[in-house]
Structures are given as structure tokens and as C-alpha cells.
Structure 1
Amino acid sequence: MKKLVMAIVGYGKSAKRYHLPYIKLRENIQVKYVCDLALSKEDLEELSKLNITGVTDLADVLADEEVAVITLCTPPKSHFSLAKTCLEAKKNVIIEKPFCETMEQTQTLIQLAKESNVHVLPYQNRRFDSDFLTLKKVIERNYIGKLIELEAHIDYYRPNTEERKGTILDGSFYGLGVHAVDQIVSLFGKPDNVYYDLRNVQNDESTVDDYYDVQLIYGALKVILKSSQVVAKLGPRYRLLGTTGIYEKYSPDQQENDLKLGIYPGEAGFGLDTPKEYGVITYKNANGDWIEKAIASETGDYGCFYDGVVEMIFHDAPSIVSEEEIRVTMEIMSGASFGY
């Protein structure tokens, strides 16, 4: 079996929780290296058990001609410079969110990938959230007529009144909202207009947002993306209004919750909703009767992202996240500003 040989740069929560558990299940992918400046003795022992070589110098990875793909799981401020270095070495590059900070950086990376005849793309694993895949199914099957409004929430109750300093790159919109924006761009493309409200509602002296309310306008359809860290009682994850009905889904995708509990992909029940967590659609049928129906959740699997990478590298399949989608998402992200 032909294997895709890759490396991961950065050995923190992202690599350990959102990448390696899924890659390990795929026999056609080999993680040859993990590179991190601060690998401990325990880290090296842990990696050795996984048959992965731990290194502290990126040059070791770049010099290995076997390595075709490098995934960057490093802090956001490092994404652009590290991606540029890897692309110049003619490696395909996957970048954890956010892709980078500005449109100028985005254009530079896309152009450099073309010149090096390789791919660069963001790790938009949330396209494979169970709740999002189910929302797509509801939209594609036209259950509720013409779409009028979609409200998507990523809310928590995590009070923190400490003063936070940084740039917009360090706030909730770039940290969480980039997933929500990408999901909507993958569904509807480039919006006609975008309206932003980014704030810090817990400490007036903070310079990064902990709350966002961003509206994307697509003709008659308004998409509202919201997040707050002080929501004491959670509402719907998705609320979709149409001319003939409504769809509501309260419970979010379960993969992250299971991973935090030490339940991993491949284990029985991983990431699955129970029937009580299914979304509900209320619609008017052809007889004019109102029908309420639970919609069984699709199965989420972040590993599908890497399946797509294999197809892209070995079989010249289209990129999971197209160049146009990268540009549109980053154009929306970079148009935001912090403040009341």
C-alpha cells in the first residue's frame, strides 16, 4: 500500500487531540516526524511508542524527501512564516486555524504554493462536524422551502474577567469564528455584504474579543454567526428558518467532548449523538398539516479531512478547501475589527 508520509510541527493539544488520533487509524498515512522546540523526555518516549521520530529542528523534516505533507499545529502568529518556509522547500502544507492573519499573507502563500507545484490549505476539520453535516442534509433536501435566516452559535459559560492583551488574531473570532465562516462559505460561497460586531464583554480594558456577532448577507438569506463565553443556558447550535418550516439543533458535535474525556476515534460510540440529541424539523406538508420530525444526525469524522488530502496528493482530486474558499474566508476574517 502506498503511504502518504507526513510530519506535524507543534506537539500541543491540537496535534495530540485533533490530528494524531484520527491519522493513527489510517493505514495509508504515516506520520514520520513530530517537530517541536520544546519536546520533553516524556514527549519523545510517547512519540517513540507511536513509531514517530521527535525532532527539534525543522530543517531535519525539510531535508527528508519522503515527507510530502507538513501540518502546522503552532501558535497563529507563526503560521505565515513557517508555511512560507515549508512551501519554499516544496512541501504540501496544512495549516491549523486560523490560516494566517491578512489577505496579503494569504495571497503570498497561495502564489508560493503554485510556484512550488504543491498545495497549501487550512485544516478546516469542522466541515466534518456531525451537526454541520446534518445541517447540510437539511438544506440539500429542501425540507423547509426558501431559506430566510440561519443562526449558528458557538457559546460557552466560561467566565473570565482577566484583562487580555493581543491582536485580533488572539480573539474569539479568529480562534472560533474562522470555523463558522468557513462552514458558511462552503455552503453558500461569497456573501453580498458582511456586518461585524466584535467586543470583549467581560473586561473593558481587554484588547481582544470574547464575543462576536457577524452577519453574512446572501440576497434574501441572512446568516448570523455568534459566540459568547458567558451564556448561562445554551440555545440552539443551529436555527434555520425557511418559508415552510424551521430546523433547530441544540447539541453540538460530540467528537470534541469525547476526545476531552479520553474516548478516541475507533472506539464504540465515539462522536455519536443519541436520539435525544437529534435536531428537529417543523414543516408544513402538502396537505397543509404541520409535521414535527427528528432528523438523525450524520456521523462526524475529522479524519475525513486527511482522507481528502490523500486523494488530493495521490489522485489529483480537488482540494477539500478550494483556493477561492480560502480567499473568501480570509477576506471576511480580515475585514473584522475589534471595538464597540
Structure 2
Amino acid sequence: MTQIGVGLVGFGLSGRVFHAPFVEATEGLALRAIVSSDPAKVHDRLPGMAVVPSVEALLAEPGIELVIVASPDDLHADHAIAALDAGKHVLVEKPVATTLGDAQRMRDAAQRTGRMLTVFQNRRWDADFLTLKRMIGEDLLGEIVHFESHFDRWKPDVPERWKDAREGGSWFDLGPHLVDQALCLFGMPDAMTLDLASMREGSPAPDWFHAVLRYPNRRVVLHSSKLCADDGLRFAVHGTGGSWIKHGLDTQEPAIVGGAQPGDADLGVDPIPGTYTPASDIHSHGEVPNERGDYRLFWNALASAIRGDGPNPVGIEQALDTMKVLEAGMRSAKSGATVAF
């Protein structure tokens, strides 16, 4: 199989944990160069890896077909468009951009150049989300009327980093994950309301959000707080066929941070089963075995798509819908009103 050469822009948490290890573990992909201002940090993890100082230098490297943009969010559009114009396929970290307008410019560049543009929405391959999709496919929940999705944390100290100071705060950091999952399941809502707040003392941007997406016969609640000592709740899903309550977050990220590698025997195993209560017997509660989370499924699909053997795993139009919800949420939070789509 001819290898697809990969260049990586950025070697922060995203580049180190979510991209470099999985590129190296994916058949048909070969990581060939990384943009970083700290070559020593790269070589500590990847001895001998080519390190270049800029996106321009990366695009001049031979044998690179796919560029992964894992730079700060406000640089995504410029870096992605430069790579597309250079004839490269592009994978962009979430959020795809900081504005819908920039995301549309990226989409237009992909269409103009005939290159593939995809977005890293890895949480579609979390153990809990795969389990939920299986339950929906088996019609265990019936028509879902209330869907609640949480990304809560206990992080009372405010770190000094750009992610915690940007406009929108955690709504543009964790929100893209929750919005993307909701749209995968239910499509675009009719309207939404977002409440943003800074709960931690000294927080420069919102660290708490509560969004309600409105559908004709359904409400979808997306919630995140960084001041939750009991931060275990992940999903609460209620339908005409029953309820499913899930605690615990997917284990892949902390495992890789701790030294695990893609393909390890227990990577992606979720040890906390959800609880199912069937509508036919509301006094009966049973544990639901979890699917195994596996981010390699995204990477395998990406390699196949570049070779022309399958669809884009996260299409740019889906990413644009996520951006529409994120921006509508900001308008709602600023006005205090419900925003219609």
C-alpha cells in the first residue's frame, strides 16, 4: 500500500495525544514532519522526526499529502486554506474555525482545489456514544424526548492558557464535541438558548455553559461546568421506550496521556456501564454493556477516504452546521433570547 505522507501543524496536547500517535498507528499513513517552535519536545516523543519552523516550510516538504491543522483556533482558517491551495488534503482540529465565515472560506477552498477537508470530531468514537447509538439502533429508548449531555470537570484553579481566555470560553472548547454529537443524532434544531457564565474566581472567559436545543417534540440539553466536585454524569437520555443514565468519561484520552498507545488491549474499554430502565417495567434497572471506544476508526476512515475508498468521516458541511449552532449560541447568550435557525 502506498503510504500517505502526513504533516502536523502544532505539537500541543492535541498534536501529542490525538494526532501523532494515531497517525503512526494507522496503516497507510506516515508522519513525516511537524511544525513546532520546540524541536526538543517533539524529539522527546518522536526521535528523528523532521521539525520545521512554519507552515510554509511544512508545505515545501516533499511527500506530504495530508496536513493536520492543530494550531490555535484563530489560525485554523489561514493554515487550512494555505494547505488546500498547496494541493494538500486537510484535517482540522475542532472547532473548525472561530467564525462561520472563516469555516465557509475553508469549505470554498476545498471545493476550489478539489482536496478533502475534514474535521477531527473524535468523540463520535467514544465508548459511551457508540453504546448510545447501538441502543438507539435497537430501539431500546423509543422516541427520545429528553437528551442531556454533560462534560463537567473539577478544575477550580484557572490555568494561564489561551483556551481559557478566548471569547466563548469552554463553549468553543468543549461545546463543539457536545454539539456535534447532538447533531449526529437529531439533526439541526429549530431554535436554541444558551446561558454562559464565569463561575471560577478570576476566570477570564466563560467556564460554565447550559444550552437547550429545541426540536418539535424533544429537548436537548448540553451542559458543562468546571466547578463540579461530582463530575461523573455524562448522559441522561429519556424516551418513550425507557431511560439510560451513563456516568464516566471515555478513557482513551487519559490513557494515552498516561503512556498508552493505539492498539493496546484495553484502550477504549469503559469500565462503568450505563443503567437502563425500560418503560415496560420502570422498577427494573439493568446494566448496559459498553461498546469499546476506538479513535482508530476515524483514522482508518480518513485514510480510506483519501485513497478514494470511502466517504469523508466528518464532512465539512457537518462542521458548518456545528459552527452555526456555536455562533447562534453566542448570540443567544449575549441577548438573553432564544435564537431560531
Q: Please tell me whether residue 283 in structure 1 is matched to residue 278 in structure 2.
A: yes
Alignment of 1:292 with 2:285, yes or no, is yes
CA distance in 2, matches of 1:161, 1:127: 28
Q: Deviations over 1:273-293 (max 9, x none)?
A: 23xx111111034xx675422
Cα offset for 1:161?
5.9
* Cα distance change of structure 1 residues 146 and 162 upon mapping to structure 2, 3 Å threshold: same
State the aligned residue count: 331
Q: Is the 8 A contact 2:39 2:51 kept in 1?
A: no
CA apart distance, 1:299: 1.0
Note if 1:313 corresponds to 2:298. Answer: no
1:251-270 deviations in whole A, cap 9, x for unaligned? 11111221232222222312
1:79 to 73, 76, 87: 76
Q: Do 1:129 and 1:300's aligned partners in 2 also have CA atoms closer than 8 Å?
A: yes
- Kindly state the Cα deviation for residue 303 of structure 1 after the two structures are TM-superposed: 2.0
Instruction: Specify whether residues 54 and 250 from structure 1 end up closer, same or farther in structure 2 by C-alpha distance, changes over 3 A only.
Output: same
Contact 2:117 2:315 in 1 (8 A): no
CA contact 2:270–2:290 (8 Å) conserved in 1: yes
Match of 2:173 in 1: 175
In structure 2, what is the equivalent of residue 190 of structure 1?
188
Matched residues in 1 for 2:104 and 2:255: separation?
37
Q: Distance in 2 between matches of 1:93 and 1:116?
A: 11
Question: Where do 5+ consecutive residues of structure 2 fail to align?
Answer: 337-341
- After TM superposition, the score normalised by the length of structure 2 is 0.90
User: Of 120, 123, 139, which aligns to 1:123?
Assistant: 120
Counterpart of 1:69 (choices 66, 82, 106) is 66
In the alignment, the residues of structure 2 paired with residue 9 and residue 257 of structure 1 have an alpha-carbon distance, to the nearest angstrom, of 22
Q: Following the alignment from structure 2 to structure 1, what is the Cα–Cα distance between the partners of residues 166 and 245?
A: 34
Amino acid in the other structure paired with 1:278: P
Distance 1:93 1:307, change over 3 A: same
For 1:166 and 1:267, how far apart are their aligned partners in 2? 36
Question: How far, CA to CA, are the matches of 2:95 and 2:106 in structure 1?
Answer: 13
Name segments (4+ residues, structure 1) moved above 3 Å. 161-167, 288-291
Aligned to 1:92: 89
Match for residue 215 of structure 1 among 212, 216, 230: 212
8 Å Cα contact 2:55/2:79 also seen in 1: no
In structure 2, relative to structure 1, the CA distance for the partners of 1:134 and 1:162 (3 Å cut) is closer
Q: CA deviation at 1:221?
A: 1.1
Q: Cα–Cα, structure 1 residues 222 and 35, in superposed 2: closer, same or farther, change >3 Å?
A: same
Match for residue 3 of structure 1? 3
Q: Closer, same or farther in 2 for the Cα pair 1:166/1:157, shift >3 Å? A: closer
> 1:139 is matched with which residue: 136, 141, 151?
136
Q: Show the counterpart of 1:109.
A: 106
1:324 aligns with 317
TM-score relative to the length of structure 1: 0.91
Map 1:234-249 onto structure 2 (within 5 A): 234-249=231-246
Tell me if structure 2 keeps the 8 A contact 1:178–1:329: yes
Correspondence for 1:304:
297
| Closer/same/farther in 2, CA of residues 160 and 39 from structure 1, 3 Å limit | closer
- Describe the shift of the 1:235–1:10 C-alpha distance in structure 2 as closer, same or farther (beyond 3 A): closer
Mapped to 2, the partners of 1:172 and 1:150 lie a distance apart of 20
Cα shift at 1:301: 1.4
Residue of structure 2 equivalent to 1:43: 42
8 Å CA contact retained: 1:215, 1:223: yes
Where does structure 1 lack aligned partners over 5 or more consecutive residues? none
- Rounded Cα–Cα distance in structure 2 between residues aligned with 1:162 and 1:91: 35
Q: Is residue 224 of structure 1 aligned with residue 221 of structure 2?
A: yes
- The yes-or-no answer on 1:202 pairing with 2:195 is no
In structure 1, distance between residues paired with 2:193 and 2:298 = 30
Q: Does the aligned pair in 2 maintain the 1:189–1:325 contact within 8 Å?
A: no
**Which residue identity lines up with residue 151 of structure 1 in the other structure?**
E
Supply the distance in 1 between the matched residues of 2:282 and 2:237 (Cα, whole angstroms).
20
- Tell me by how many angstroms 1:116 deviates: 0.5
Aligned residues of 2:278 and 2:284 also touching (Cα < 8 A): yes
